[in-house]
Every structure is written in structure tokens, then in C-alpha cells.
Amino acid sequence: MQIEVQGGLWQHYQTLVTEKMLPYQWAALNDQLPETPASHVMANFKKAAAGIREDYQGIKFGDSDLYKWLEAASYTLGKTEDKRLQAHVNEAISWIRKAQLADGYLNTFYQIDQGVDKRWTNLRDNHELYCGGHLVEAAVAHYTATGETALLEVAEKFAHHILTTFQEGSPQEGGYPGHEEIELALLRLYQVTTNKEYLELAGNFIQHRGQKPNYFDQEAKQYNHGIQTWWGDNHRYSQAHEPILAQTEAVGHAVRAMYLYTALADFARIKQDKQLTEKLLDFWQDVTTRKMTINGGIGGTAWGEAFSEAYDLPNDTAYNETCASIGLVFWAEKMFELTGAAHFIDILEKALYNGCLCGMDQEGEHFFYVNPLEVTGTSCSRKDHDHVKGQRQSWFGCACCPPNLARLIQSIENYHYYQKQQRLYLNVYGESTFASGVAAQGTQFKMKQVTNYPWAGSIELTIEENGGQINELALRIPAWVKAAKVYFNGKIIPNQVEQGYLLLAADFQRDDKIQLFFDMPVVANYANERVPELVGKVAVTRGPLVYAVETVDNGTDLANIYISEVTGSQLLSNFPIGDSLGIQLEGQQRKSVGSLYMVEKPSFERKELKLVPYFLWGNRGAGDMRIWLNQKN
């Protein structure tokens, strides 16, 4: 199966990552950006390779940033010849191979700082398995993209090391990671190598999690780690408070939860585990109907980067880590593979366009770690808003988000289509080509997609070849679409939708055309009454995109903007930047008065408002922003 992005929004972002983001991040990993804090990542690999046992610097899980960068770079090399990028990838792999110990162990934090004799003694806090998981994912991506095995050999050697480390009768028997990631990585490795030991090990990590007596309690007692004093010792932070099937809601660190649920969904699909599938559906319902913001953000509290209680969804303090929305994309895709239902892709799309893309600027060199729904300059100075930034940052001490976003964008074509036997699902619409089968054997199916989605709701598919690989198309009708028309060779198709897909079965021939037309009006959105911060508020969307007001267009007093309806709104071409579309609509602004309090009713004046796609806010300088506006009846 070959998929290629050929234009539109996603080609813009893939080009930006290739030309700007990956070189910039390579410089950051090598401490070559004088105005940003040193990451020490590559320096630590070089020390470990040289056998240096002191002077580790940087965050303890810094290895994972290089692995995520390598994964993104590998996807890129699968699309384009880039000699400079290839040289950087080869250099990174060379240092990784040199740093790996003879028994397969690899973690620069332990090899330099903690001591190899203390490895695997603090699974709760020290991220060895988390880093190893990202090594495995990078290796799978590199092997798949290039056919080379240099990094895959490292990953398999590491995998065999942990197979031994966590085998029955070992000191670490029954252990599992504090930060989930290795589980989903082992499943990817299994699907590339077909080695069932990797599947079984992933299953063991899943099965042992949260069992009594709790492994983290035993480990802390044996090695004198103590409790996590800032969070408590109930292990909800790492989803290890109960066995997975006994858990009733999404809790704890949001990224950890997303990586766990992603692995659970893939494992349930492979094993056809109905009980685990039902539990995942419960988690999904909890996250997406009670704990997710309108921009696809999850993990709303800065305390632990974690889920809060149901309907606790503040605007200005929302944490909504970029990595959490990326994790939601991963999980949603695996839930789709598990169930075949389009509503998982609807959430994937919401998180992708709004929660993820907001994490980077249009230069590819500045990033948001958190994504609130409202930013006010005065409140950003408060201590309880320390995590909220009015501008994207050049780098972070914990820089997990930038390379995570890079690997998502560079693999975005994998979310466009999904083939199951002779049915082809179209999930994320975007200008692209899809090919399956072997042209030389006359079995190739090839299709081209032309669209300006998400800016426009028209999509044209042209069959370029069909050697019998595909006889049915499953065309996703997004949940936000109220009116859709689909034509096959000029004839309208009845809208018979199954699990969110319009199914079109045919003996497809060269030059067959399928056209989809989705109405894409400007829409006013209202929140559930149980979200107190959103009572009397309205948010504006168009298609899959959430919109926001910014200071640069609407002045500094965004808190006093009101709208009553969105009818009569107009689209603004090339606004705020590039080929994007903004929205202009009529609102009102409360007039300013001098008194702090008064008995007179406030008065209002007409105000023309300009709204930008939320993911593009902050690209024209510092200023305030908000999604939810006051509703005026």
C-alpha cells in the first residue's frame, strides 16, 4: 500500500516539517541553538558511547526526544531524497548503536548517571521502558521507510533484553512502566517481525498493570523510593491504581492514558478481546463526552498534566498538552481499526486540526506545549497560569511535544486511508494518491483525491487503475455534515450510511469519478449546562475547524465581545495567513465605563468581528485569544 500527500494543507505542513522543523530540532538536540536552553540529548548519547559514567545533563527521559525525531525523519526519508537529513539520521543511529550495551540495554540516564547496576529498579518514575518504546517505534519507522536494519537491530536487541528482564522468576517479574509507551511499540514491532514474543510481552505489561499487590508499592519498598508525594501513592497518575478491566474512568496523566489506551485497542483487535473492547468503549465515552474541550484537548489540569473531574473544563487554565491531543489521534485511529466506526475518526479529526496543529507556528521553529481556549495577558502573569503562554516557545526543558508533532505530520498519509480486504476506507480527506497491489502483476488499484479540505467540502476521487484489489469504497460522512451529496460518474448515490460511512460497491474502472459535496456552513456551538465556565457562551466552527478571536483583529477587550447568531457571516480568503479562511461576522461589544461596580445596565455597540482558525492563532505577534464568546439573546 502506497499513499502520497500531493497538495493542500498537509503538503504545506509536511514541507514545513521537512525544510524547517526537522533541521531546527536536530540543532536543538545537538545544543546548536544559542538562544534556547541546551537539551544535552546527543551529548548524552556520545558520553554513553564513550563509556563516561558522570555528568549526565538534561531531563531523565531525553533519549525519547531523539527517537521521536528519528521516527519523523524516517517517515520523511520514505518520501523524499534529502542528503543532509539522511546524514543526520545515519549519525544518530551510529551513536545509538555505539551507546547500546552488549546485553541490549540502552538508556543514557542510567548508563551515565544512575549506574547500570540500578537499572530496572524504578519503573514507576524513571522512564526506561518509555524511552525504549520510542526507540522501537523509531526503528520500525526507519525499517519500513528505508528497508535498512541498522536501527531495527538495536530495537530487537533491546526487546530481547526486556524479554529476559521481565521473564517469569526474574526480580522484575510482574513489572510494567510508569509511563506507558512500550506496550504499543511492542505491538508495532510484532506486526513488522511477526515475533509472537513481542505480542506476549505487551500482553503481560497490560495484564499486570494495577494488580494487587501493586508492583510500584513493592518496588518502592524494596528500593526505598518512597511515595510520589506531590500526587499521592494511589497510582491513579499512571493508571495503575486498579487492574485495567476494573477501572471505571480515564484518570491521571493524559498522555500516559492515551498511549495505554492505544495499546489496549491494538491488542484487543489482534486478540479479538470483546471484554477489553467494551472497557475501551467506556473509557472513550468518558473522555470524549465529559473530559474533552471543543478543540480536541484533553488532560485539562496542570496538576499532573492530568484528567480532572467530569465537566471540569475551564478555558483559561486548560492544560491540553499537545502530546495529549496527539495521543488522542493515535487512540482514535486504533479504535476505528478495532470497530470500523467513523465516529472515532470524527474525534481524530477534531483533535488533529485543532488540538495538534496549534502546537507549532508557521515557521516550524516555535511551539505550544499547552493549548488553552482563552489567553489573557493579565492572567498569564498569575502563578496559577504559569503554564499558559501567549506566544509559542523556541524549545522546552521537557521537549516531548515538538518531535511528537513532527512524527505525526510526517506520517499523516497513514490516517487518510485504511484498506481492509477489498474495502477501502477514506478517513482523513486530503489531496493525495492511494495505490494498492502490484502494477507489474496487473493487480494494482490506484486512486487520486483532489480537494481543498478542510477549507472546502468538495472532494473528487478518480480511479486511475483497478486490478481487482478494491471493489468497495467506504466514504466517511463527518458527524458535523448536515447535508451531503455523493455522485458516482455523475449519478447521485442514495445516502445509506453505515457506521458513519457511505458504502459504494462497484467494479471500478479507469476514469471512474466519485464526487462528494459536504455543506460547510458557519455554525454556533453551545456547551452542556454542567460546564459552569461555558454557561452563556458560544463557540464558532466551520467544518472540522474551531475558530477564535484574537487581539490583533478585534482589540484587547475580548472578554466583552458578544454574538447572538452567525447567520450572515462571511469567509475571509487568505486570512489570517497563507491559504487559510477566516470568518467575519457581526457582534457587539460592551461599552467601557469607569466604575468598578454600578447599578446601571451595561450598554453595547455594534462590532465587526474577525475570527481565525484556532490552530493558526498567535502567528502574527503576541496578544489575547479566546474561543468561547459571550452569547447575547
The residue type of 95 is: W
Cell of residue 312, nine digits: 471540569
Nearest by Cα to 612 from 577, 587, 588, 586 = 577
Cell of residue 126, nine digits: 524513571
| SS3 labels along 41-56 | HHHHHHHHHCCCCCCC
Instruction: Quote the pLDDT of residue 601.
Output: 92
Phi, psi of 459, deg, nearest 5: -135, 130
Q: Is 288 helix (H, G, I), strand (E, B) or coil?
A: helix
What is the rounded CA–CA span in Å between residue 62 and residue 531? 37
On whether the CB atoms of residues 138 and 152 are closer than 8 A, the answer is no
What is the rounded CA–CA span in Å between residue 372 and residue 394? 18
pTM, rounded to two decimals: 0.97
Cell of residue 231, nine digits: 500526587
- 618, HSE (Cβ side, Cα atoms, 13 Å): 27
Q: In terms of residues, how long is the chain?
A: 633
Q: Which residue is listed with cell 489540569?
A: 301
Query: Which residues, 6 or more positions from 358, have their beta carbon under 8 angstroms from its beta carbon?
Result: 295, 322, 368, 371, 614, 615, 617
What is the rounded CA–CA span in Å between residue 440 and residue 303? 57
Longest dimension (CA), the chain: 82
What is the rounded CA–CA span in Å between residue 106 and residue 95? 11
CATH class of 417-518: mainly beta
Phi, psi of 137, deg, nearest 5: -60, -40
CA distance to 258, 352, 423, 496, 570, per residue, from 349 (Å) = 16, 5, 21, 22, 24
What is the rounded CA–CA span in Å between residue 241 and residue 341? 30
Q: What is the mean pLDDT of each run of 10 residues along the chain (633 residues)?
A: 96 98 98 94 98 96 98 98 98 99 99 97 97 99 98 99 97 98 99 98 99 96 81 90 98 98 99 98 99 98 95 96 98 99 99 98 96 85 75 92 98 98 98 88 91 98 94 98 96 93 97 98 98 98 98 95 94 94 97 91 96 97 96 90
574: left (phi over 0), alpha (psi -120 to 50) or beta: left
| SS3 labels along 127-184 | CHHHHHHHHHHHHHHHHHHHCCCHHHHHHHHHHHHHHHHCCCCCCCCCCCCCCCCHHH
Strands 561-563, 629-631: pairing kind:
parallel
Domain boundaries, the chain: 417-518, 522-631
**Which residues are designated catalytic?**
305, 400
Cell of residue 423, nine digits: 474495502
Instruction: Quote the pLDDT of residue 229.
Output: 65
Q: What is the CA radius of gyration of the chain?
A: 25
List beta partners, residue 573: 581
Q: Which residue is listed with cell 454600578?
A: 598
List beta partners, residue 571: 583
Instruction: Quote the pLDDT of residue 233.
Output: 77
